[in-house]
């Protein structure tokens, strides 16, 4: 293992190559794979920290039936029996699978085959419904097939890159850094379209902070401008497309002037003009988009409004040009290839034509073929809630956190007769499982994933399977066999599944579907093992660049792309007097989704250690909110609590809450319970980026900090959050009760645990409480401090004691109950550079001692020199420090 194992990062759709080397003692060293075309050796903060996520803390290591450890045989028998019985009694549509872009292509393939070909229902949907469904629907409307025409090289070769609804700097960091490098080299112009001022917008040439949901109008305006300015590629439009004049008529009618667009989008006319003129004049233009476009009640229309502008200018599939939907999850694209969405069948084959369904049926030799689309995610959970779906198997996703109207989803999971969950760890969703199946995690499993540019690469194991964990493909096949479908699920390994998947892509294809990896149908096991990252389609006849859709030849019935006439529609729910703020949600720089993995890594948690709602200064003033206040946020669906950050990055009337905070990391801080389940009519994707809320100040009367080695779940507190640190956890507690009640609550919480060496202190006024426990060696095991708001001492010292595990000296013991270090201890402050663990105070210090640029800070501290995602934050710290010095 000295050279390490080449594998692929399990986080975002950039799909970076990773070299993992297990070390004696259980740790794993991680570096970027210099030979992987997606990242050429670079990794972002999350990828760099992968070695800190492979421990077995919190892992599911054995199957469980109703909370009790069980054997695989018992668990699998029960799953198979309950699914078979339910199908026999209530029909195939009474069961469902909810799967995930975390699954490998091989896992996905067998899950899809089992449900659609053998159980006989298309009730298999994936968390990609919340993610890519509008792009898929938009691609299919325009191109006839779900095709992403471009590749990453295009970002190096473009002169204009429009990033819309995409916080690329944080969510596709390696692509973003690649774009910045290209800009250095060729002066690429970058336009960011996002209602929020994001880290991505910090680096751009033009930021259009449009009103939420007004993207169709903006791009309709662009189409009308392209026509007015003579930028239409008439020859391409005539030869390769249809529907142009209708789309143009509709666009021109609603966006007849810049003034119309400006007032409709809440933008300055001059900024719109700048964008339109730049786009019209720049042949090599790319429009990159993701969730600000997809996660919308009109996401599919947004996608087509963008594609229309590229078709109109013939800027598609050629170097440095094209619409580019970037995928979110490591295998979002692979899921689309196998057909893991309820309204697709398999291998880019749909349910529309019965001969297509017959074809797949013949190929699978399927006894009971699903013939129509199944339930999409939101409807699937509704059906689980009202008893139509009676057996549900969730694999690799955490819907109790990530679905909109998550409170309703939890209720559905509770009421559903039979819930199976395959995961690698306990989550908010596993709490509702009747059967829990321990899946193999990244580093243990083997298969392929496909990234945003259609590049397939291998995830390879470099660690043994822990406990009883098994790979997902195998668990699914084991259940299929027990349901009586052994012949079709006798796969011996992922390579065999991959070959069948490749064969299906080519089966009676005759060039109808561009997704064709038939040349890999007979790949030998050892070649599958050696597989180097590869773009599809394979073979790429006469198209060595691997771009698609360049010279027309669209996979529609007449070979022409379709313009879609799209109108600007409002958001699903408008703000009103009762709920005056539009809540947007999305990602933080260093967290992955529901934090099941990244939430355990101290340095990934330290940049944004608490759930925070960012709110515009105007709204904060109106609601009487200040920085650091606790806010109660409520929508018509649910509520959350989070710390307030007043920020001019937010447009007046809007706020932003991260999507990440599950019940394992905070009391009630998730965006899921607030979000609306209203979906796009074409894609079924919910409007996760927009819900009207009320934000109110919660009067906090006491605060507490608990520093502990233990993994606890506080109960009874109005609000708590926690963060992993070296050697344990730090909990922040607070409440609206009187301080003495707060102390009572905190003590009761501690009383639940045995403490031999607890020392306690309460001040005379009953406002301050301190407790600390030492272990047998006299090292700090736990400390709890309660004080009125704003009066807790900094926690750095206690945290350092927890991490050091050193027996405390007499001075330290005496200081313990004050919570303050007996000797001055400089704090590094909030971590800015997660790659090298450099805090805000260190950066400010380096500026004070002479560093004047981001590069100089990098030279002195290394901060910002790895993934680069923190560079814009470093620049702000430098600017602020210099401003202060000048005052």
Ligand X SMILES: Nc1nc2c(c(=O)[nH]1)N[C@H]1C(S)=C(S)[C@@H](COP(=O)(O)OP(=O)(O)OC[C@H]3O[C@@H](n4cnc5c(=O)[nH]c(N)nc54)[C@H](O)[C@@H]3O)O[C@H]1N2
Residue from 54, 134, 350, 594 touching ligand X (CB under 6 A): that is 594
Tell which one of 50, 130, 517, 772 touches ligand X (CB under 6 A): 130
Cα(128)–Cα(108) distance, integer angstroms:
12
- Which of these ranges, 320-328, 618-626, 770-778, 798-806, lies near Mo ion under the rule CB under 5 A? 320-328
Rule CB under 6 A: say whether 282 interacts with ligand X: no
Q: How many residues bind ligand SF4 (CB under 6 A)?
A: 13
Burial class (CB in 10 A: 0-12, 13-18, 19+), 755: middle
Q: Which of 64, 93, 154, 194 binds ligand X (CB under 6 A)?
A: 194
Q: Which stretch binds ligand X (CB under 6 A): 356-364, 498-506, 507-515, 667-675?
A: 667-675
Choices 126-134, 444-452, 489-497, 740-748 (CB under 5 A): range interacting with Mo ion: 126-134
SS3 36: coil
**Degrees, nearest 5: CA angle 525-459-39:** 125
Q: Is 331 in the site for ligand X (CB under 6 A)?
A: no
Is 138 a binding residue for ligand X by CB under 6 A? The answer is: no
∠ CA 743-748-752, nearest 5°, is 145
Sequence-ordered alpha helix ranges (H) in 187-243: 199-202, 215-228, 234-240
Interacting residue with ligand SF4 among 5, 12, 103, 222 (CB under 6 A): 12
Residue 328 engages Mo ion in binding (rule: CB under 5 A): yes
> Cβ contacts of residue 276 below 8 Å, gap of 6+?
221, 222, 225, 226, 229, 258
* Cα separation values, 696 from 334, 349, 614, 615, 771, Å: 43, 49, 13, 11, 32
Which of 19, 20, 39, 272 is the binder for ligand SF4 (CB under 6 A)?
Answer: 39
- Whole-angstrom distance, CA of residue 329 vs CA of residue 449: 10
Stretch that binds ligand X, among 142-150, 165-173, 601-609, 784-792 (CB under 6 A): 165-173
Question: Contact between 291 and ligand X (CB under 6 A)?
Answer: yes
Q: How far is the CB of 329 from Mo ion (least distance, A)?
A: 5
Among 19, 20, 30, 43, binds ligand SF4 (CB under 6 A): 43
H helices within 441-577, ranges in order? 472-482, 494-506, 525-530
395 binds ligand X (CB under 6 A): yes
Measured at the alpha carbon of residue 110, what is the angle toward residues 107 and 113, in degrees to the nearest 5?
A: 145
Residue placing its CB nearer to ligand SF4 in the complex, 151 or 497 = 151
CA distance 306 to 516: 26
Q: Among ligand SF4, ligand X, Mo ion, none, what does residue 47 contact (CB within 5–8 Å per kind)?
A: ligand SF4
Residue with smaller CB distance to ligand SF4, 158 or 449:
449
Q: How many CB atoms lie within 10 A of CB 412?
A: 25
How far apart (Å, rounded) are the C-alpha atoms in residues 319 and 543? 12
Q: Which stretch binds ligand SF4 (CB under 6 A): 40-48, 81-89, 338-346, 774-782?
A: 40-48
Contact call for residues 306 and 290 (beta carbons, < 8 A): no
Residue 193 binding ligand X, by CB under 6 A: yes
Q: According to the binding rule CB under 6 A, does residue 533 interact with ligand SF4?
A: no
Helices 354-364 and 494-506, interaxial angle, to 10°? 150
Q: Residue ranges of the alpha helices (H) in 531-583?
A: none
Based on the shown chain and the rule CB under 6 A, indicate whether residue 459 belongs to the binding site for ligand SF4: no
Residue 313 makes contact with ligand X by CB under 6 A? no
Minimum CB separation of residue 332 from Mo ion in Å reads 7
Interface characters, 450-479, with ligand X (x: CB under 6 A): ----------------------x-------
CA distances to 667, 733, 735, 736, 841 from 718, in Å: 8, 8, 5, 7, 31
Shortest distance, CB of residue 50 to ligand SF4, whole angstroms? 8
Report the residue number, 328 or 330, with the smaller CB distance to Mo ion: 328
Q: How many of the chain's residues bind Mo ion (CB under 5 A)?
A: 2
Q: Which is nearer to Mo ion, 17 or 328 (CB)?
A: 328
Query: What is the greatest pairwise CA distance in the chain?
Result: 86
Secondary structure letter of residue 794 according to DSSP: P
Q: Check residue 131 for interaction with Mo ion (CB under 5 A).
A: yes
Chain centroid to CA 749: 34
Among 548, 675, 786, 854, interactor with ligand X by CB under 6 A: 675
Q: Which tokens go with 150?
A: 């471009």
Q: Pairing state of beta strands 95-99 and 780-787? A: unpaired
The nearer residue to ligand SF4, 164 or 329, going by C-beta atoms, is 329
Fill in the per-residue mask, 153 to 192: x = in contact with ligand SF4 (CB under 6 A), - = not in contact: --------------------xx------------------
- Token look-up 């021109």 returns 252
Q: Return the number of other C-beta atoms located less than 10 Å from residue 231's C-beta.
A: 21
Q: Which two tokens stand for residue 152?
A: 């990453």
Q: Using alpha carbons only, what angle is made at residue 550 by residues 546 and 556, rounded to the nearest 5 degrees?
A: 105
Strand bridging mode 630-634 / 639-646: antiparallel
Site string for ligand X, 415-444 (x = CB under 6 A): -------xxxx-x-----------x-x---
What is the binding site for ligand SF4 (CB under 6 A)? 9, 11-12, 14-16, 39, 43-44, 46-47, 173-174
What is the binding site for Mo ion (CB under 5 A)? 131, 328
What is the binding site for ligand X (CB under 6 A)? 12, 100, 102, 127, 130-131, 164-168, 170-171, 193-196, 198, 212-213, 215, 290-292, 295, 328-329, 395-399, 401-402, 422-425, 427, 439, 441, 445, 472, 584-587, 589, 591-594, 596, 659, 671-672, 675, 688-689
């Amino acid at each position: 293992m000295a050279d390490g194992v080449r594998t692929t990062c399990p986080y975002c759709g950039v799909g970076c190559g990773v070299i993992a080397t297990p070390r004696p003692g259980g740790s794993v060293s991680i570096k970027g794979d210099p030979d992987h075309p997606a990242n050429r050796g670079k990794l972002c903060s999350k990828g760099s920290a992968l070695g800190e996520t492979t421990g077995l803390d919190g892992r599911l290591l054995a199957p469980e039936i109703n909370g009790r450890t069980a054997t695989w045989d018992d668990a699998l028998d029960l799953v198979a029996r309950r699914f078979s019985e339910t199908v026999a009694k209530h029909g195939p549509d009474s069961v469902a699978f909810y799967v995930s872009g975390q699954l490998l292509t091989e896992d996905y393939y067998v899950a899809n085959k089992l449900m659609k070909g053998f159980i006989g229902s298309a009730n298999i949907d994936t968390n990609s419904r919340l993610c890519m469904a509008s792009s898929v629907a938009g691609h299919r409307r325009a191109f006839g097939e779900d095709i992403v025409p471009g590749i990453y090289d295009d970002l190096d070769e473009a002169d204009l890159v429009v990033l819309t609804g995409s916080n690329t700097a944080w969510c596709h960091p390696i692509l973003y850094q690649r774009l910045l490098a290209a800009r250095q080299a060729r002066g690429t112009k970058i336009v960011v379209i996002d209602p929020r001022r994001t880290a991505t917008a910090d680096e751009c040439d033009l930021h259009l902070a449009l009103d939420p949901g007004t993207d169709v109008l903006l791009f309709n305006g662009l189409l009308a401008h392209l026509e007015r300015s003579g930028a239409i590629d008439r020859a391409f439009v005539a030869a390769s497309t249809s529907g142009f004049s209708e789309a143009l008529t509709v666009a021109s009618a609603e966006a007849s002037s810049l003034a119309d667009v400006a007032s409709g989008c809440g933008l300055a006319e001059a900024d719109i003009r700048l964008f339109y003129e730049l786009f019209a004049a720049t042949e090599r233009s790319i429009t990159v988009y993701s969730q600000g476009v997809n996660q919308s009640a009109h996401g599919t229309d947004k996608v087509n409004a963008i594609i229309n502008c590229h078709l109109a200018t013939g800027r598609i599939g050629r170097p440095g040009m094209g619409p580019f939907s970037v995928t979110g999850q490591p295998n979002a694209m692979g899921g689309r290839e196998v057909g893991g969405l309820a309204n697709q069948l398999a291998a880019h084959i749909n349910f529309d034509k019965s001969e297509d369904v017959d074809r797949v049926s013949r190929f699978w030799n399927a006894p009971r073929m699903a013939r129509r689309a199944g339930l999409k995610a939101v409807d699937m959970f509704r059906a689980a809630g009202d008893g139509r779906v009676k057996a549900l198997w969730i694999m690799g996703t955490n819907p109790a956190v990530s679905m909109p109207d998550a409170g309703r989803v939890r209720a559905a999971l509770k009421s559903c007769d039979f819930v199976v969950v395959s995961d690698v760890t306990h989550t908010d969703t596993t709490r509702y499982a009747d059967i829990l199946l321990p899946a193999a995690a990244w580093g243990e499993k083997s298969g392929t994933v496909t990234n945003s540019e259609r590049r397939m690469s291998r995830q390879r194991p470099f660690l043994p399977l822990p406990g009883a964990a098994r790979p997902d493909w195998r668990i699914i096949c084991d259940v299929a066999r027990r349901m009586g479908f052994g012949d079709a699920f006798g796969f011996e390994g992922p390579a065999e599944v991959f070959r069948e998947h490749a064969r299906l892509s080519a089966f009676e294809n005759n060039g109808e579907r561009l997704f064709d990896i038939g040349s890999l149908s007979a790949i030998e096991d050892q070649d599958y093992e050696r597989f180097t990252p590869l773009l599809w389609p394979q073979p790429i006849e006469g198209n060595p660049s691997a771009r698609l859709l360049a010279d027309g030849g669209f996979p529609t019935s007449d070979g022409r792309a379709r313009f879609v006439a799209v109108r600007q529609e409002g958001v699903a729910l408008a703000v009103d007097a009762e709920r005056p703020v539009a809540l947007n949600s999305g990602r933080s720089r260093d967290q992955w989704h529901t934090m099941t993995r990244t939430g355990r890594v101290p340095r990934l948690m330290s940049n944004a250690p608490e759930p925070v709602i960012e709110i515009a200064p105007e709204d904060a003033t109106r609601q009487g909110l200040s920085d650091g206040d606790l806010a109660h946020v409520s929508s018509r669906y649910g509520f959350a609590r989070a710390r307030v950050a007043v920020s001019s990055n937010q447009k007046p009337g809007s706020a932003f809450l991260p999507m990440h905070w599950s019940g394992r990391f905070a009391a009630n801080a998730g965006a899921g319970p607030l979000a609306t389940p209203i979906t796009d009519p074409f894609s079924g994707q919910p409007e996760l980026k927009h819900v009207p809320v009320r934000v109110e100040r919660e009067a906090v009367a006491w605060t507490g900090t608990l520093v502990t080695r233990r993994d606890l779940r506080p109960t009874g507190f109005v609000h708590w959050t926690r963060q992993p640190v070296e050697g344990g956890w730090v909990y922040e507690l607070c409440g609206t009760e009187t301080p003495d009640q707060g102390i009572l609550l905190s003590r009761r919480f501690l009383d639940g645990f045995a403490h031999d060496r607890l020392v306690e202190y309460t001040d005379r006024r009953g406002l301050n409480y301190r407790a600390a426990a030492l272990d047998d060696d006299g090292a700090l095991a736990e400390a709890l401090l309660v004080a009125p708001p704003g009066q807790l001492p900094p926690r750095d010292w206690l945290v350092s004691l927890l991490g050091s595990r050193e027996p405390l000296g007499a001075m330290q013991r005496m200081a313990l109950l004050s919570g303050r270090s007996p000797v001055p201890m400089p704090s590094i402050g909030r971590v800015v550079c997660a790659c090298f663990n450099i805090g805000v105070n260190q950066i400010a210090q380096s500026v004070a001692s002479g560093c004047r640029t981001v590069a100089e800070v990098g030279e002195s501290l290394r901060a910002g020199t790895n993934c680069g995602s923190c560079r814009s934050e470093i620049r702000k710290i430098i600017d602020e420090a210099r401003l202060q010095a000048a005052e």
